[in-house]
Structure 1
Amino acid sequence: MSDYVIPVGNMSRAWLDTLQLVHERGGRRTNVLTTVTDPLAPEYPAVRAAIDRVLVPGKHKSGTIQTVDTVAATIFPHTLYAAPGMAWAPELSPVDAARLDLAAADLYEVYSEMLPLLCTADGNKRGTYFGRMVSWPGKEPGGVNQLADRVKYLRQVRRDGKRAHNLSDIAIGGEAEPCANITSPEDAGSAADVSDVDDVGLQVYAATDRRQRGFPCLVHVDLTLLDGQLSMLAVYRHQYLITKAYGNLLGLARLLGYLAAQTGFAVGELAVQATLADTQEQHFGGRRGIQALIDSTLSSALLK
């Protein structure tokens, strides 16, 4: 049965509310929608500390355990991005625009160089989500940089003064092709030209992939522009609420923040649809163990 988690302004609270809802309804639910209205708001320390205590890196009966930051970095490696502290705009000076572009180029280059090594780590043997975004199909450098194509596309939408635009998927099946009709800012033209651009997404899940379990669980990411705000919806086919969900939220929030800064739009909301949400109680102390984790965060004065 579908479940709807009441939208909240904080990512930590959204994760906790999702965990509590699924736990109270049996530990597994289908089509669970979680929404964060302010994805870049500071995390709640009590919630982060509670999940960090559980996610001790190493082998576990549930599989290989990664820290929250490690999981988040598979979606967006924020420590590799030297943010210039500004947002893109059509009127940005050439010097500042060059600084913003250089920061992005450095991120792509450094990550692509690291990619073969990253793919040797436990949990990354089939690649990383960010690797597939910047070097499709994602196991070695030199692939299609889908993220750069998407930024270029959104900048043209901004140049045309659009504050509401029905953007297509940024993720999943189909072929990873560049935005062929816009080759450079100088070549981009009017609003009519933008409507002719092929709407391509950041592909993280190949249509030819026949795996029923395992990587990738993230199968779809969609961007929507409304009232000058860029919002994101991510769809997971299996959302592991203990080992992955918090890191996934953090990584997606950082990716959304990056796209907003690189294109000049305000950050909108982040929504995650889990086709199957799982508290993983069989691996983390049963129902009592999950309840103890929830109680340890709810007891914080900040969350009362």
Structure 2
Amino acid sequence: MHTITVDAPDISRAWLEACTRLSEIPGKKAFHTMVRIARPLHEDPHLRAELDRLRAARTKPPLYPINTVVNTLFPAALAATCTTHEQLSERYRAMYPRLQEIRRNTHGTYFGRLVSYPGTPDKPEPVDQLARVIRRLNMLRTTAKWSAVYEAGTAHVTDGDASAWPDELAADEPAAGGAGPEAVIRAASLDTQTLDFPCLSHCSFQFDSATNTVHLAAYYRSHYMFDRAYGNYLALGHLCAWVARHAGLTPGTVSVMSGCARLECTKSELGALQDAVTTPLFGLGA
């Protein structure tokens, strides 16, 4: 089995190093890849401009602009006009039905699942999972007792028995709709298609009490590196920063694991991107 692990100081070098490493593997495919980004909102402007140019030149099939990919996971432009998470959530949920009328959003969007996860017949009200994560971080950051109970995962948001959790978490559950310490991307009753949405399976926020920092780890079952990964990495950086800001914390690293990562660009496209980067690609510690 081929695999890669990348540590880089910013999103541009992390993404380009991962693509370069994949290009050296037979079939340009690797399993259980790990990409860790120290400053996930920092970009190399020259590499980003060249990537935008190459993507725009693709016509068969056409590729969405990177900002469009970003917005499926985090609506950065909308968030910039909101002062609270509640305001962002309410505005997004109001427009969510219209977004789902767009063909590519038929099954929903990642951010839609985070702030408006579909309810059940018993509890039909959609669940704002990010609000729960922010609430828990706010509540527990002063105690420094829990580091890894801020999840977006695989169980249904209404599963679990709050009586089995620490008192601090159990007390929070009535306001969260009875859910456990996980919030969900995939809805088993809705997501029966084999391909496409949702490729993102899990998000997990870790609180580092020593530095008052929140880190984000994400798992993708499959990743197309040229088509989606750069926009996905950038969106995860925005998501981590948003949660940190509203929990009164500092945003930290983003780590992305892919069950299977594929490089689907040409040798000439990759060469142009390598030439565009303004800082040497390798040997830069995080």
TM surpasses 0.5: yes
Secondary structure at the aligned position of 1:110 is classed as helix
Map residues 194-205 of structure 1 onto 2, 5 A cutoff: 194-196=168-170, 199-205=180-186
Q: Displacement of 1:3 after TM fit?
A: 2.6
**Structure 1 280/47 Cα, relative in aligned 2: closer, same or farther at 3 Å?**
same
Q: Distance in 2 between matches of 1:163 and 1:260?
A: 18
Secondary structure at the aligned position of 2:8 is classed as coil
Instruction: Report if aligned partners of 1:52, 1:67 keep a CA contact under 8 Å in 2.
Output: yes
Instruction: Report if aligned partners of 1:32, 1:277 keep a CA contact under 8 Å in 2.
Output: yes
Question: Unaligned 5+ residue runs, structure 2?
Answer: 173-178, 282-286
- Equivalent residues, number: 264
Q: Distance in 1 between matches of 2:240 and 2:161?
A: 23
Deviations 1:256-297 (A, max 9, x none): 00000111122221000011111114xxxx4x2343343342
Matched, 1:211 2:193: yes
**Structure 1 105/292 Cα, relative in aligned 2: closer, same or farther at 3 Å?**
same
Instruction: Report if aligned partners of 2:149, 2:181 keep a CA contact under 8 Å in 1.
Output: no
Deviations 1:172-209 (A, max 9, x none): x221239997xxxxxxxxxx631545643231112343
Matched, 1:128 2:109: yes
**Structure 1 174/43 Cα, relative in aligned 2: closer, same or farther at 3 Å?**
same
More moved, 160-169 vs 149-158:
160-169
Deviations 1:141-199 (A, max 9, x none): 962111112211111112x331752225323x221239997xxxxxxxxxx63154564
Deviations 1:62-93 (A, max 9, x none): 4x521111111111111112478xxxxxxxxx
Secondary structure at the aligned position of 1:56 is classed as helix
Instruction: Tell me how large the CA RMSD over aligned residues is.
Output: 2.8
The percent of aligned pairs where both chains have the same amino acid is 27
Instruction: Report if aligned partners of 2:2, 2:25 keep a CA contact under 8 Å in 1.
Output: no
Instruction: Report if aligned partners of 1:7, 1:14 keep a CA contact under 8 Å in 2.
Output: yes
Secondary structure at the aligned position of 1:174 is classed as coil
Aligned to 2:14: 14
Matched, 1:31 2:14: no
Deviations 1:204-236 (A, max 9, x none): 112343332111110111111122221111111
Relative to the length of structure 1, the TM-score reads 0.78
**Structure 1 202/50 Cα, relative in aligned 2: closer, same or farther at 3 Å?**
farther
Aligned to 1:295: 274
Relative to the length of structure 2, the TM-score reads 0.82
Matched, 1:161 2:143: yes
**Which amino acid in 2 is paired with 1:7?**
D
**Which amino acid in 2 is paired with 1:234?**
A
**Structure 1 2/214 Cα, relative in aligned 2: closer, same or farther at 3 Å?**
same
